[in-house]
Structure 1
Amino acid sequence: MNKQYIQTNQSRLEVVPERGGIITSWQVQNQEILYLDEERFANPQLSVRGGIPILFPICGNLPDNTYTLNDKQYTLKQHGFARDLPWKSTQDQVTPEKASLTLVLSSNEQTRAVYPFDFKLAFTYQIEGNTLEIKQQYTNLSTEPMPFSTGFHPYFLTVDKTQLKFEIPGQEYQDQITKEIHSFNGDFDFNRDEIDVAFKQLSAKSATVTDHARKLKLTLEYDDTYSTLVFWTVKGKNYYCLEPWSAPRNAINTGEHLTVLKPQASHTATVRLTANFF
């Protein structure tokens, strides 16, 4: 597997273009920020648990994995196909302070069978200081308007979830399993087997998680493209996921916060992660 690295004097990023353009490791001051299940990653048949998978052209799953467009039914599996396809790396720029790598995914026969559009995605991963920035450009090369949602599914490494303190700009969340709405006071019940919740009414463009066990404060910033933050974790595993999504699950059917790109138009978006050790 062809791993690519970019490095500065403060941090190091590891990317595997052929496995969905995924970031598999991000180290700041020689400390790993991300979780990666290496065994699952070694098996291409299994979905990746770890790193920062890319979600496109949907986030989450669809009822029966299907959506309807112009009276035609299509099948898309959870989180779409971008995380499973090989991306091409096109350029990297490196100085001691700043380094970047650009990856491209273009539509092909395989994608058109499940998503009938011609598109080009170009993502630039840039590290500078203790910040990782992901700049994205989505281009519709079709003659029809192109609906999509997009997001990221970062797995953050943690050793003791009870030592995590959350500042999420939402008063309530929807439990993705029971569909119930709960008010949010900054805490999660980590005794549950699985936590899968979506914050849909966000009052700010950033969230922070302070991990007192690791002495690490993580800040996630996102632009207006992103309407939803999903928090997900599984009991007994050393990770939690805080995921910026442009739209909630099933948006391609409901239209909720869906991005619709005009023919030949482009849309840009940015997500930024900053890791501060204290």
Structure 2
Amino acid sequence: MTIYLESDTAKVSINEFGAELSSFILKETGVEYIWQANPNYWGRHAPVLFPIVGRLKKNTYTYKDQPYRMNQHGFARDMMFDVIEQDACSVVFELTSNQETLEKYPFEFRLLIGYKLIDNELATSYEVSTLSDEMYFSIGAHPAFNVPLIEGTTIEDYYLHFYPLKSRIKIPLKGAYINSESKTLAQTNTSIQLNHGLFKEDAQILETKGKNTFSILSEKHPHGVRVSYEKFPFVGFWSPNTVDAPFICIEPWCGIADDVSASGAIEEKIGINKLSKGDIFNRSYTIEII
């Protein structure tokens, strides 16, 4: 089932399966900003990454010395959520642990994902709580945006703008895993012209602090997209490196892939979040289309 939200200026579609944003259209122009999941390139729109972000070494982790298997980005993106609140411009989805999840993730959890559309800005919120004595998790976003947005333009007609304009730490990948010992300084104090070569080594990953806004813009037309957030310690920029795909992802993360030297213990995982019973974890980010 698909949930539809609408404001005076925009329309949004969200799938109950995965609580995944699937469409964001500016009504005045009819421009679609969200990638439409062509499987020839990548068959998803904007999956929610939970309870891990990225890949585990050998797709395995341990908790209290007990091994568990979990595929890249976790399981929430491939599960049906329940709608627990809804009106014309907002919706809240719920996913809770069950016997299936407990076999691969031994924590009782409640995950709420909220969407609220105001004019041409969509706010996405995450709320995580647990009934377990303790819980370790990551959560992140993976929205893919059409690039090019307008017919007659190419990816090289667009640029990635960083706000604030300042240098940030770049975390390189070694295969599917991060290599935290080889961090470098990314020159995000200026805009970067987009091209497929930026992703030849897979995702570009930055450490982020405070408030950040990352925008895809063009000098050829006034349309673009802005992703804004705070309290997400990482961001990934991604497009497939095996094919020249017509989309770019901007991905705020509270979590990250295993390091090449990771022990496998989830308690020691870089970027992991911990909750105790009664604690509540909240994060949110916005997508603005122009």
TM class by smaller structure: 0.7 to 0.9
Aligned partner letter, 2:94:
V
Counterpart among 148, 154, 163 of residue 143 in structure 2: 154
Query: CA deviation digits over 1:190-236, x for unaligned, max 9?
Result: 23645312102446432222134553232211231x10000111242
Q: Is the 8 A contact 1:158 1:214 kept in 2?
A: no
Aligned partner letter, 1:25:
S
Query: CA deviation digits over 1:118-173, x for unaligned, max 9?
Result: 1111111111111000122111122x211111001000001222122222364342
The residue number in structure 2 matching 1:44 is: none
Corresponding residue SS for 2:129: strand
**Do structure 1's residue 248 and structure 2's residue 262 form an aligned pair?**
no
The residue number in structure 2 matching 1:228 is: 234
Corresponding residue SS for 1:83: helix
Alignment of 1:157-196 (within 5 A): 157-159=146-148, 160-168=154-162, 170-177=167-174, 179=179, 181-185=183-187, 186-187=191-192, 190-191=196-197, 193=200, 195-196=202-203
Alignment of 1:51-130 (within 5 A): 51-94=45-88, 99-130=89-120
Q: Unmatched 5+ residue regions in structure 1? A: 42-47
Q: Is the 8 A contact 1:52 1:152 kept in 2?
A: yes
Greater mean deviation of Cα atoms: 181-190 or 82-91: 181-190
- Return the offset for 1:177: 4.1
The residue number in structure 2 matching 1:35 is: 35
Q: Provide TM-score, normalisation by structure 2.
A: 0.82
Counterpart among 261, 264, 268 of residue 278 in structure 2: 264
Greater mean deviation of Cα atoms: 244-253 or 185-194: 185-194
Corresponding residue SS for 1:134: strand
- Return the offset for 1:52: 1.4
Q: Is the 8 A contact 1:34 1:50 kept in 2?
A: no
Aligned partner letter, 1:31:
V
Mark the CA change 1:126 to 1:203 in structure 2 (over 3 Å): closer, same or farther: closer
Greater mean deviation of Cα atoms: 25-34 or 239-248: 25-34
Aligned partner letter, 1:74:
Y
- Return the offset for 1:250: 2.3
How many aligned residue pairs are there? 262
Aligned partner letter, 1:77:
N
Q: Unmatched 5+ residue regions in structure 2? A: 149-153, 260-265
- Quick one: percent identity of the two aligned structures? 22
Q: Is the 8 A contact 2:124 2:284 kept in 1?
A: yes
Cα root mean square deviation, aligned: 2.3
Q: Is the 8 A contact 2:7 2:120 kept in 1?
A: no
Corresponding residue SS for 1:110: helix
Aligned partner letter, 2:33:
I
Q: Provide TM-score, normalisation by structure 1.
A: 0.86
In 2, Cα distance between the equivalents of 1:177 and 1:158? 27
